[in-house]
């Protein structure tokens, strides 16, 4: 008569189960640790503890047919070992990693945090995870991360774009996974964007009707098509439509930061002390300009003499609100991610990859 195995005794005799199971589990853990120096439980370890084949464990994990007895033993073995299924193994089976690469220009930005919040909402709801890459506003790093994510691999990419060079266009066109851009309108690419030129035109036109005296402007590099070129061009056009002109000698360039807005404003006020108002390409730079005006002209003056873009909640709380443009950043993250995941699910046409322009709202004008 054959001698029953330890595994069969463990699952057949409840009074022996804990002792035998612990003995088996200890042996499995020792083997798992000895090969790598860290605990890595494999499918075959689960199979050994459950007294079934690795194929049976695979069928259980993949939802295939398996007897109720074996399913219960496998379930208990997984709980005991803490086995976590390899994402690489799932990718080989399904062709999907359930990972989305997200490339952002900076992480200490309210607009970017709103965008990534929207992305995260959709990914979580639809069973995906985010791999976040921060470029620190270095355009070449966008290219590096595009290449990295394609080779990771991820299922798709969301790029919160800044500068779009010819090299960027080539990288986007040749991308081996679906990609959606946020913040820039690039011909031939799937994009979710705001019309910065139109919004700036409306802001410039509205300010021309309420500002007496000279208006200065602090922008950003025009290699950033949306925040740099389109906002300045639209603002100038709005002033012209209202019968005003932006003096080229009163245009300065910042770098998206509070300190750059402060420095540019102090320099403007030193060379043109009669400037009445300073319009800025971002709310963050407007906060710096506000501080500069307060220092030069007295506390409280800056609130009435600056404008921005982005409707920053912190600045709004401190000042009660400066003239600015509100963009649906969270909505852009939601829309871009839904577009991307719909495409991965095989959806085409209106709900697939496309170009989507979102609206905007003037605030405190």
Average pLDDT over residues 17-33: 50
Nearest to 141 by CA among 120, 167, 111, 178: 167
What pLDDT does residue 1 have? 42
pTM of the model: 0.73
Average pLDDT over residues 33-45: 59
93 compared with 263, residue with greater pLDDT: 263
| Secondary-structure class of domain 97-194+329-358 per CATH | alpha beta
Distances (CA, A) of 15 to 7, 11, 79, 357: 13, 10, 19, 67
In this structure, how many other beta carbons lie within 10 angstroms of the beta carbon of residue 202? 20
What DSSP assignment string belongs to 32-70? HHHTTSS----HHHHHHHHTS-HHHHHHHHTT----HHH
pLDDT digits (tens, 9 = 90+) for 181-238: 999 999 989 999 999 999 999 999 999 999 999 999 999 999 999 999 999 999 999 9
- How much is the mean pLDDT over the chain? 86
Task: Give the whole-angstrom CA distance, residue 337 versus residue 334.
Answer: 5
- Is residue 3 over pLDDT 80? no
Can 97-194+329-358 and 196-327 be said to share one CATH topology? yes
pLDDT digits (tens, 9 = 90+) for 61-94: 767 788 989 888 888 888 887 776 655 555 545 5
pLDDT category at 352 given cuts 50, 70, 90 is low
Tell how far CA 268 is from the center of its chain: 35
Give the length of the chain.
365
| % of the chain at pLDDT higher than 70 | 84
Nearest to 129 by CA among 121, 141, 139, 137: 121
Task: Give the whole-angstrom CA distance, residue 301 versus residue 291.
Answer: 9
The conformation of residue 194, written as its DSSP 8-state character, comes to E
Task: Give the whole-angstrom CA distance, residue 355 versus residue 199.
Answer: 18
What pLDDT does residue 82 have? 74
Distances (CA, A) of 91 to 40, 99, 101, 128, 130: 19, 10, 15, 13, 16
CATH 3.40.50.2300 fits 196-327, yes or no: yes
Bridge partners (DSSP) of residue 99 are: 129
| % of the chain at pLDDT higher than 90 | 65
Name the residue ranges covered by the structural domains of the chain: 6-85, 97-194+329-358, 196-327
Nearest to 142 by CA among 150, 71, 45: 150
What pLDDT does residue 4 have? 45
Task: Give the whole-angstrom CA distance, residue 168 versus residue 18.
Answer: 60
Task: Give the whole-angstrom CA distance, residue 100 versus residue 156.
Answer: 5
Q: Which long-range contacts (CB under 8 A, 24 or more apart) does 308-311 make?
A: 308/279, 308/280, 308/281, 308/282, 308/283, 308/284, 309/196, 309/199, 309/200, 309/203, 309/227, 309/231, 309/280, 309/281, 309/282, 309/283, 310/110, 310/111, 310/282, 310/283, 310/284, 311/283, 311/363
């Amino acid at each position: 008569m054959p001698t029953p195995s330890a595994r069969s005794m463990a699952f057949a005799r409840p009074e022996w189960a804990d002792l035998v199971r612990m003995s088996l589990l200890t042996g499995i853990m020792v083997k798992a640790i000895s090969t790598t120096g860290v605990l890595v439980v494999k499918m075959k370890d689960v199979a050994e503890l459950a007294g079934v084949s690795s194929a049976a464990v695979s069928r259980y994990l993949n939802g295939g047919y398996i007897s109720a007895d074996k399913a219960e033993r496998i379930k208990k073995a997984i709980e005991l070992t803490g086995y976590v299924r390899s994402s690489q193994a799932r990718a080989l089976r399904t062709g999907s990693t359930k990972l989305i690469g997200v490339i952002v220009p900076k992480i200490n930005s309210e607009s970017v945090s709103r965008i990534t919040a929207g992305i995260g909402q959709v990914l979580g709801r639809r069973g995906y995870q985010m791999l976040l890459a921060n470029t620190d506003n270095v355009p070449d790093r966008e290219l590096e991360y595009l290449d990295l994510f394609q080779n990771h691999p991820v299922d798709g990419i969301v790029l919160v774009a800044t500068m779009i060079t010819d090299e960027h266009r080539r990288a986007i066109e040749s991308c081996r996974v679906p990609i959606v851009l946020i913040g820039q309108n690039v011909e031939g690419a799937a994009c979710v964007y705001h019309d910065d030129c139109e919004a700036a035109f409306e802001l410039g036109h509205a300010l021309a009707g309420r500002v007496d005296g000279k208006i200065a402007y602090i922008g950003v590099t025009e290699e950033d098509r949306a925040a740099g070129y389109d906002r300045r061009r639209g603002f100038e056009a709005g002033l012209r439509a209202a019968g005003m002109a932006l003096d080229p000698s009163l245009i300065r360039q910042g770098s998206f930061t509070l300190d750059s807005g402060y420095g540019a404003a102090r320099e403007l006020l030193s060379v043109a002390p009669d400037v009445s108002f300073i319009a800025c390409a971002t709310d963050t730079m407007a906060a710096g300009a506000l501080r500069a005006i307060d220092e030069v002209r007295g506390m409280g003056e800056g609130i009435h003499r600056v404008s921005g873009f982005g409707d920053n909640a912190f600045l709004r709380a401190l000042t009660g609100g400066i003239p600015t443009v509100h963009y649906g950043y969270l909505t852009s993250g939601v829309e871009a991610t839904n577009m991307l995941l719909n495409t991965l699910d095989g959806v085409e046409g209106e709900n697939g990859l496309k170009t989507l322009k979102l609206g905007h709202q003037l605030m405190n004008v």
